[in-house]
Each structure stands twice: as C-alpha cells, then as structure tokens.
Amino acid sequence: MLISTNNDLKRVTDVEQKAGRENNNQQKEFVKAITPKAVDYSQWYIDVILKAKLMDYAPVKGFMAIRPAGYALWEKIKEQFDRRFKETGHENAYFPMFIPQELLEKEAEHVEGFAPEVAWVTKGGDEILNEPLVVRPTSEAIICDFYSRWVQSWRDLPVLINQWCNVVRWEKSTRPFLRTSEFLWQEGHTCHRTEEEAEEEALKMLEVYRECIETELAIPSVVGRKTDREKFAGALRTYTVEALMSDGRALQAGTSHNLGQHFARVFDIKYLDQDDQLKYVWQTSWGVSTRLIGALIMVHGDDRGLKIPPRISTYQAVIVPILTKKDREKVLKSVRELSDQLKDVIRVKLDDREEYSPGWKYNDWEMRGVPVRIEVGPKDLEQGKVVVVRRDNGEKVSIVREELTTYLPRLMDDIQKDMLKKALEFREENTRSGSDYEEFKKIMETQRGFYLTPWCGDPECEEKVKEDTKATIRCIPFNKKLEHDTCLVCDKKAENAVYFARAY
C-alpha cells in the first residue's frame, strides 16, 4: 500500500503535490501508523510496541532494548509484585548469572528440558575454560547448590528467597516481550520442612500472582495445574496463571512449581529435624516475567495503541495546553500551577513542548496509553474549567478546576475497574464449554478462546488435540466438575475438566 502511494506521488507534478495532496497523504499515513488489529494482529502488536517506544530490536536476533517507557512499566509492575512478596515473608537476594555445567546436569529432567536452549560461555579472555559455563536459563541449579550449604537444621527453614534478574534462553522463534532470548523476571526459590508446607507455598504464590495481575494489571485469568506434558522440567507439579489475549489466544502469565524433593536429593539439601533424622527439604519456585508487558498490550490495547491501567501507568494523566499566540503566557502559567497542584493526588505529566501541535500530542499520548488527558485552553480558562478525556473509552467531559483533586483519583479507580470489567467480559464471552470435538475444532480455527472440557488424562488425547488444532491444555482448574464427563477426544470417563486454548 505504501509503495503504490509513493509511486502515485512520484507521478504527479510538483504543482499538484503542493496543491494539497501532501496533506491528505499525511493524514492517511497516520492512520497507517498502527496496523489495525483486524488486518494483521501480529503487525498491530509490533506497531504498538514500536510506536509507544517500549522497546527496540537489538543487533542480535531475539534480543531487545527495553526503552524508558517500557522499563518504567516494568518498574511499576515489579513494585507491585515485590511488595506482595515481602508481605508474604520473602526476602530478595542475588545469585550468579553463570552456572557450571556440572551443576545444571545434576537433575536429569531439568537438563533435558533446558539443554536445547542454553547459551554457553566457553572462553574467558584468551583462555578456553576447563568447564564451560551456562548462562542461567533459570536458577534452580545454582541456587540449590547454595542452599545445600545454607540449610543445616530445621531451624533454618523455611528459606523464602526471591531474586529479580535476567535469564537467557536461546529461542528459535522470538517475539518482543512474549518470547525473547533474554528477559527480565523474578524467581522465588523456597525450601520447606514438609510436603504440605511446600504445596501451600506454591499455591499461595499462585494466588499472589493471580490477585496482583488482576488488581494491578486489570487482567483476569484462570488458574490451575499444568499437565505432565506442560509442567516445568524437574517439577513435581506446576501451577499456572493463564490470561486470554484479545485475539483469542492464551498466554501463560505466571507459574508456580512444587519441586518436591527432586532437586533436594540431587543437590543434597538436607536438614537435621527435631527427631534427630536427616531429611531432604521440599522446595518451590515461581516466576513472572517481562512477558506481562506483552499481556498488558494484548489484553487492553486497541487500534490507537496502548491502554495502560492507571495503577501501573507511569503517568496517570497528561496535561496538554492549547497555546495560542494571544493567550500563550496565561495558559502556560495556568497549566504549570495545575500540574503542581495535581502532583499531590496523581502521577501527572505536563506536556508543554512547543514544537508539537495539540492534535499531535493527543495522538502521541493515546498511542502511549496514558489513562487520562487534560486539555487546557483559553476557552477553559475563561470558564474555570478543563477538558478531561479518558483513554479507555474516549469519554470527554468538562470539569470545574477546583474539583479536579477529588475528581481525578476517583476517575482513576473507575478506569481501573472498567478496564478489568471489559477484559473480564471478553474472557467470559470467549470461554466456551462442551465436549463436542468437531465443534471444538471449529472454534479453535475461528474465534479461539478457552474451551472448558472433560479430559480423560491420557497424554495421547492431549497430543491428538495439539496435532489437530494446535491447541494445548492450558490448565486443569481446581474444583471444576462438568456434568458431562466423557473425554473430548476418546470415550473414556474423564476425571477432570481442563481449559484448552491455542497459546503464545
């Protein structure tokens, strides 16, 4: 499309160009700045993250720079999770990025799971290393090595440690934020005295994830257990938070694992219990990553760009002054006062750049997802009012200036609530239930979404669905019984209901 536009342009004469066609063309260009979701969802996603300046591609495939706008978002998300981790008794620490090959190889299932995607360090300076080092794809191995020395007595338990760091997984196909070769995340690693306590921890953190993602990111989810096929390499059980993107595909937004004693046994993490017996600890690990930013974009974003929920938005409102020649100084003075005044109640940004027109700024801030825009021009000054525009639904109202300090915080709550509500409605509309395989196949082809259905538990049935439809079992929800109990694929009786979906 762009190409033909350029060709057309080149064929017209200079005179014709100057006669106004340029103007028209520029307007069209802007509409094209973000590819509409309906035209090409993947392209929409890429356009949004680039236009909103969340990231930029690195010279190495699968890597990216997280730009200030994207990183600020991560910082806000991080803050919310970190607070909850501390509230549930965890402490932060930091472990090394390089893991000796020998350590990674201790847990058989674990190596096997990660081997295809580890990055190796084989040289230090000029020296070829005796034992190559693995760049952490996750830190179980190195942390367990430390824990084997740190844990001696039952009095040392529980160990409740979290770390914020980067990890590297050599991915074959990558997408910004959703799957990159390096990403930022948090990994909690805990040790417990009993199996029950570890299980309780794994489920507790799963709930922390679910609640935080819902409250702060305004993303509803379904939680449950992973099937053996989908569980973490080396875990006893894996639990997951699954969110539904606006194209009907599911995204794993967070996972929590009960590691059982698999790692404790191979890394020799033992404690002397009160009964004078040496026992292996029971462990958990759990993580969320910068993938949440991808979820945020795909759950809330629209054809104009990002929509950030107020609770995690870097700026909750942006003030755009309308600077006319006549009233320039008056308006500037007024918005500066307003900005100072609002700083006490919300995170506010004054955009007083003079090189951009108000219209340009509207589009720019909308693209970047700021929840509220406040317009202040000469007409507003006369009336002692300002214009307040919501990003989530476009609603535009004129508000008396004095009321803003009470109005805006309330508006932020409303927007947060409405965004969650909208996402929840979408989730519900796109969660279907049944056990008709033909209908299921059709749905996975078209609207997608979640499909809640009985499953006999046989990995072969799970595999067949994947081959036929590319859909996988996202999770086995807790306490979900269906009236109908014949497996979606075979005729066997099903113990559990599961959520199927095509996933990222």
Residues near RNA, by CB under 7 A: 2-3, 6-7, 9-10, 18, 22-23, 26-27, 29-30, 33, 42, 51, 57, 60-62, 113, 116-117, 171-173, 230, 233, 252, 304, 322-325, 328, 354, 356-360, 362-364, 366-367, 375-381, 387, 389, 394, 396, 472, 503-504
Dihedral of the alpha carbons of 433, 437, 442, 445, in degrees to the nearest 10:
90
Q: Which is nearer to RNA, 33 or 272 (CB)?
A: 33
For the bound state, the minimum distance from the C-beta of residue 51 to RNA, rounded and expressed in Å, comes to 6
Paired with 175 in beta bridges are 179
Alpha helices in 18-162 (DSSP H): 22-33, 41-51, 68-87, 101-104, 108-114, 140-150
Q: Amino acid identity of 102?
A: E
Q: Which is nearer to RNA, 270 or 470 (CB)?
A: 470
Burial class for 200, CB neighbours closer than 10 Å (0-12, 13-18, 19+): middle
For the bound state, the minimum distance from the C-beta of residue 492 to RNA, rounded and expressed in Å, comes to 25
> Taking the CA of residue 310 as centre, how many other CA atoms within 13 Å lie in the half-sphere pointing to its CB?
26
Q: Which is nearer to RNA, 22 or 403 (CB)?
A: 22
For the bound state, the minimum distance from the C-beta of residue 67 to RNA, rounded and expressed in Å, comes to 14
Please say whether the beta carbons of 96 and 141 come within 8 A: no
For the bound state, the minimum distance from the C-beta of residue 3 to RNA, rounded and expressed in Å, comes to 5
Q: Which is nearer to RNA, 50 or 160 (CB)?
A: 50
For the bound state, the minimum distance from the C-beta of residue 218 to RNA, rounded and expressed in Å, comes to 21
- C-alpha to C-alpha distance for 198 and 281, rounded to whole angstroms: 9
Instruction: Using alpha carbons only, give the angle 45, 50, 51 rounded to the nearest 5 degrees.
Output: 100
Please say whether the beta carbons of 120 and 133 come within 8 A: yes
Q: Amino acid identity of 443?
A: I
Q: Which is nearer to RNA, 155 or 325 (CB)?
A: 325
Residue 98: strand, helix, or coil: strand
> Taking the CA of residue 384 as centre, how many other CA atoms within 13 Å lie in the half-sphere pointing to its CB?
3
Q: Which is nearer to RNA, 45 or 280 (CB)?
A: 45
- C-alpha to C-alpha distance for 378 and 388, rounded to whole angstroms: 15
For the bound state, the minimum distance from the C-beta of residue 44 to RNA, rounded and expressed in Å, comes to 13
For the bound state, the minimum distance from the C-beta of residue 278 to RNA, rounded and expressed in Å, comes to 33
Q: Which is nearer to RNA, 30 or 478 (CB)?
A: 30
